[in-house]
Every structure is written in structure tokens, then in C-alpha cells.
Amino acid sequence: MAILVTGGSGYIGSHTCVELLNAGYDIVVVDNLTNSRLESLRRVREITGRDFKFYKVDLLDQEALIRVFAQNKIDAVIHFAGHKSVGESVRLPLWYYHNNITGTLVLCKVMEKYGVKNIVFSSSATVYGLQEKVPIAEELPLSATNPYGRTKLMIEEMLRDLYLSDSNWSIALLRYFNPAGAHNSGLIGEDPNGIPNNLMPYITQVAAGRLKELQVFGNDYETIDGTGVRDFIHVVDLALGHLSALTKVMATTGVEAYNLGTGRGYSVLELVKAFETVTGMRIPYTITSRRPGDIGICYANPSKAERELGWVAEKGIEEMCSDSWRWQSNNPNGYLEEAKIAAGVGAAPSPRTLSRSNEDFFVYIGR
Ligand code: WQD
């Protein structure tokens, strides 16, 4: 029995791979590595001591994906692969619709071809649009305010239609709030390309001296200190939520959406203060104007996931800060250094952990 993890070398994907391997699952990872590095998977193996298969595959390449299913007995899929920058999606909508939606269509067709009808989909709280009613529950009306959010909404609708056409499908739609933090080993973490869009990696890069100061996007919201309030959830809690959803989809049929959040909101300045207290680092900041498209307050009602998945977030904001800082301070340039080495810029990584097959799309992560 193997779980296929698409986008498994990314931030949430790699953390979920760690928890899947630790829980005894066999996994197969596919990723096109356009927004992540193979080094993250080498470290997943280092953390867990377990070997697994990786295929460098773009979901748009149906023939390559068919080969993965033909070579492995897949029982369920956790689908992370997709572009996720709100700003980039506004600039490049066609690229986002093609990559995220067509990629998911190809995945579902190949799953159907091989009789695999269990899927956990990486959705987002962004499908609630400019929802001002908090805490946010799953039955609230859905809308999207940008192409990225619309791809998540459209994929949710596609998957609902798929179930209506064939009730043998079992589908969990996981709506993430604000993922933050890192595995406590300091070996894996969030490694955004370029200047971070999201708050926590921006803060850690200021602390690491890569960025000068934080711009706080507005302090005129109706919140405790005027700055935006969000439901920050530790990425390990998020990963464990995927394992709980996987257990459910393997045991039942149907399609259900679940909020993965803590149910607790923190303001931007509360997060900055928590980070400074926990790490002893100072985070200089300037208050600037609101970021277009932002809402003031957003946090989850996570009771449905607790009730139906038996899952609840356990890690607090302090742990998110300390784990994020451990990752960033241990890896000032993210995975880049190791990736340069692996690309032959320096000494090759130890062959025992990164052996390549004779096919250029398959890499065995292990001895
Ligand atoms: C959080 C708060 C900002 C950066 C986004 C996506 C969402 C999901 C999570 C994928 C807001 C403020 C931020 C900065 C700031 N991604 N902020 N200065 O916008 O809640 O959600 O990431 O699923 O889809 O929309 O997260 O981290 O960008 O912002 O003041 O440099 O921090 O205004 O109040 P957001 P964020």
C-alpha cells in the first residue's frame, strides 16, 4: 500500500511526508521541482530514516504520471502540487488555471484509470473570499477574490462533481488557514522563492538579516491593535491533519470539506512580539498602507475536523516562532546551498541518500 504525494517536496508536502513515513506508510512522491528543491526530500529521509521513491514529474505530463501508477501500487493520493502565490496568479492567470486545474484533471483521470478513488486535496481558506464573519465554518458561502483562490474553488467543485458521477470516490477538501513553523529538527521548513509574500518567512528573513525590516500592511483594521488578524497553524499540526483525513477517506466514501486551523486569531504585531520574545531577536518594522485584497480578520471554526477527523491543532504560536527560527537560522539561504552542491557546484551529496536510476525521471531517496 503506498500513498502518492503530489508536490511532496514543498513546504507542507515535505512535512506531511515526514509524518506519513513516521506513521509507517509507504510513500511515492511526484514533484516537478519548479517551486521546491529535491534537497527537502533528502532531509525527509534524514529525519525519518525511511527510504521512498521520488519521480520528477509534472502533473501536466499524463504519460509520465501513468508510468508512476503503472510502477507502483497506489492506494490514495494527497494532492499538494500547484502554484500558490496570490499576487503571481493575478499577473499570470492563464498559467495558474492551466497548471492547477489541468494538472488536477490529469491526476484524477489517471487515478480513475488505475481505480484509485481516495484523495485528500490541499485547498485553502482563500475559498471563503472576503468573509468578515468569524469564526469561519465550512458551510459559509464560498467565493474567491483572485485567480489562485478561484483555482482552489474550481477544483473543489470539480471533485464534488466527480463524486456525484461516481459515489465510489472518497474525497477530503482541506482548507488551510495560515501555515507557519517548521519541523523541530530545523532540517526542513518554508523556503519561498524570492521575497516572501507570507508573514512568518518575512519575519524570519528579517531576523536572519536577509531583509531590512518588516512592512506591516495597515494598522487601521478593527482588531486588537489595528493590524490584520490571522489563524496561524503549525505546519506539523497541518501535516497531521492530512493523516487524519487520509484515514477517513480510506475508510469511507463521499466528499467533505474541513477547516484546518486553530480557531485562535493573532494579529501581525502579536506575532512579531511573540517572535521577539521567543527568539530574543528584534524585528524592526514600519506601518505601511493596507495590502490590496487583504481582509482584517480571518480565523477558523475547526470543530468539524475535530468531530469528524478526530484532529485538533496542538502547537501554539510560540512553538511556531521557535521552530521557524531554528529552520531559518540553521539554513540562512534555505535549501539553496545544498542544491548548489547537488548540482555539482561543490562536493556531491553522499551517494547513499541520493541515488539516481538510469531513467532521468526517477530518483530513489534512500540507500
Ligand atoms: C498574513 C497577515 C498581511 C506579509 C495567504 C494566502 C492564503 C494562504 C496563506 C495559500 C496579513 C500581513 C503579511 C508582510 C504584513 N496561502 N502581512 N506584512 O494573506 O492571510 O494568506 O497565505 O493557501 O491563500 O492568501 O497570509 O502571510 O500573506 O498575511 O503585514 O510582509 O500578515 O496583511 O494581515 P494571508 P500572509
Counted residue by residue, the chain has a size of 367
Ligand 1 site, residue 198, Cβ cutoff 6 A: yes
Banded pLDDT at 350 (limits 50, 70, 90): very low
The proportion of the chain whose per-residue pLDDT surpasses 90, expressed as a percent, equals 88
Ligand 1 site, residue 361, Cβ cutoff 6 A: no
pLDDT digits (tens, 9 = 90+) for 139-176: 999 999 999 999 999 999 999 999 999 999 999 999 99
Residue 84 C-alpha to ligand 1 middle, in angstroms?
12
Ligand 1 site, residue 199, Cβ cutoff 6 A: yes
Position in ligand 1 atom list of the atom nearest CA 202: 31
Ligand 1 site, residue 232, Cβ cutoff 6 A: no
Residue 361, pLDDT > 80, answer no
Residue 230 C-alpha to ligand 1 middle, in angstroms?
8
Residue 127's CB is within 10 A of a number of other CB atoms, namely 24
Position in ligand 1 atom list of the atom nearest CA 298: 20
Identify the pLDDT of residue 365: 75
pLDDT digits (tens, 9 = 90+) for 285-298: 999 999 988 999 99
Ligand 1 site, residue 11, Cβ cutoff 6 A: no
Banded pLDDT at 352 (limits 50, 70, 90): very low
The proportion of the chain whose per-residue pLDDT surpasses 70, expressed as a percent, equals 93
Cell of 115: 481505480
Pocket probe for ligand 1: among 123, 131, 198, the residue whose CB has the most ligand atoms within 8 Å is 198
Residue 363, pLDDT > 90, answer no
Cell of 54: 521520488
- Residue whose C-alpha is closest to residue 338's, from 329, 326, 350: 350
Q: 16 near 86, Cβ under 8 Å?
A: no
Rounded to an integer, what distance in angstroms lies between the CA atom of residue 183 and that of residue 237? 10
Ligand 1 site, residue 126, Cβ cutoff 6 A: yes
Pairing of strands 118-124, 170-176: parallel
Catalytic residues: 148
Ligand 1 site, residue 221, Cβ cutoff 6 A: no
Global confidence as pTM: 0.94
Position in ligand 1 atom list of the atom nearest CA 295: 34
Atom 13 of ligand 1, nearest CA residue: 199
- Residue whose C-alpha is closest to residue 200's, from 283, 299, 291, 314: 283
Domains of the chain, CATH where assigned: 2-363 (3.40.50.720)
Residue 198 C-alpha to ligand 1 middle, in angstroms?
5
Mean pLDDT to the nearest integer, 31-51: 95
Rounded to an integer, what distance in angstroms lies between the CA atom of residue 243 and that of residue 239? 7
pLDDT digits (tens, 9 = 90+) for 207-226: 999 999 999 999 999 999 99
Rounded to an integer, what distance in angstroms lies between the CA atom of residue 179 and that of residue 177? 6
Q: 44 near 355, Cβ under 8 Å?
A: no
Identify the pLDDT of residue 339: 56
Mean pLDDT to the nearest integer, 231-258: 98
Read off the amino acid at residue 17.
Answer: C
Inter-CA distances, 231 with 201, 228, 295, 328, Å: 16, 10, 13, 21
pLDDT digits (tens, 9 = 90+) for 104-115: 999 999 999 999
Residue 196, pLDDT > 70, answer yes
Rounded to an integer, what distance in angstroms lies between the CA atom of residue 19 and that of residue 78? 13
pLDDT digits (tens, 9 = 90+) for 180-190: 999 999 999 99
Helix axes 39-48, 11-22, angle to 10 degrees: 20
Residue 357, pLDDT > 90, answer no
Mean of pLDDT over the chain: 93
Dihedral sign computed on CA atoms, order 263, 119, 196, 132: negative
Pocket probe for ligand 1: among 84, 150, 269, 294, the residue whose CB has the most ligand atoms within 8 Å is 294
Residue 358, pLDDT > 70, answer no
